[in-house]
Amino acid sequence: MVQGLVRLIVLAVMAGLAGCSTAPSGPPPELAMPAEDPLAGSPALSLVRAAEAALQQRRSADAGEKLERALAMVPDSSWLYRLLAEQRLRRDDAAGAEGFARRALRHAPPEKPYYQAALRELLATALARQGRQAAAENARARAKTLRQP
């Protein structure tokens, strides 16, 4: 049930970022919540569910508020920081997205290079939207390095 909820949230966020009218069949593995994330099995998941519902109703600010409340309960969740970074990008707050992406990276499991690469791509998007192209390219290069076997 938790994994299904996680998929719904990721799909809603991804669809909102891409402006898609239909959602893909499932998140890429690098965007799935790491099993060791402190959010897994936490009571904060109810807030994440409420945030997902707010996103479906196009209430991005309300979704962000609920995600921040969940983060107060689970402050070491890389996955929640990532969701907040994506939410900030949806609201055209690239600086806020950068901060949350950097925090997600700090809490990312070191044994998940593809997840870290996805976070670096998110950081690169936030940097590029701020006009910081050199920093964005650096983040993309680091993401590419993480994806190499």
| Per-residue pLDDT at 26 exceeds 80 | no
Region 2-21+28-147: CATH code:
1.25.40.10
Determine the pLDDT at residue 40. Answer: 80
Looking at the whole model, is its pTM more than 0.85? no
Ordered by start, the domain boundaries in the chain are: 2-21+28-147
State percent of the chain over pLDDT 90: 56
71-123: pLDDT as tens digits? 999 999 998 999 999 999 989 999 999 999 999 999 999 888 999 999 999 99
List the one residue out of 110, 45, 105, 99 whose CA is nearest residue 74: 45
54-63: pLDDT as tens digits? 988 989 889 9
Sign of the Cα pseudo-torsion (120, 7, 110, 87, in order): positive
List the one residue out of 94, 101, 97 whose CA is nearest residue 118: 101
Here the tokens at position 23 are 């959602």
Q: Are 83 and 104 in contact (CB under 8 A)?
A: no
Average pLDDT score, the chain: 82
Q: Are 52 and 5 in contact (CB under 8 A)?
A: yes
Q: How confident is the model at residue 2 (pLDDT cuts 50, 70, 90)?
A: very low
